[in-house]
Amino acid sequence: MLIEEYFQEVRNIIASCLLVQLSNVNYENRSIYRGFIRGELKFSDDSVLYLREFVDVQITLDREMYSYHYENSSKDLIFRYDNTRHHKKLNLPNYPHHKHDGSEDNVISSNAPMLADVLDEIAGLLE
């Protein structure tokens, strides 16, 4: 797969989410296989998802870095998934993958979700 193909997949996922009211996402090629995505998606209730992914798609989809930070209209954290390596002392089973659930301090183990999974979770919260 080429990075442009992955970028198009992300565009299609965002376009198919009917709850997204406004999308501001930048796609930056680093090579034909590597790229960086950064942006924000605003939802019908004025909540916002800030997303970042640094991906390499040469062999398989490898998200070397990701963060999906979702907050309500008052800018209170609802959740954030990321793979930043700052919670090693917590001995999370899926380290470095984790979720901040409701607050920065409430860190739980999680699998590495894809953007579609995160949007499905948000849809469940908004319905």
**72, 86 Cβ separation under 8 angstroms:** no
Contact 92, 107 (CB under 8 A): yes
Locate the domains of the chain by residue range.
3-126
Q: Please provide residue 14's backbone torsions phi and psi, each rounded to the nearest 5 degrees.
A: -65, -45
CA–chain centroid gap for 26, Å, is: 14
- Round to whole Å and give the CA distance between 6 and 11: 9
Quick check: 65 pLDDT over 90?
yes
Q: By C-alpha distance, which of 53, 48, 49, 23 is closest to 38?
A: 53
For 87-124, the pLDDT digits (tens) are: 555 667 777 888 999 888 888 888 999 999 999 999 99
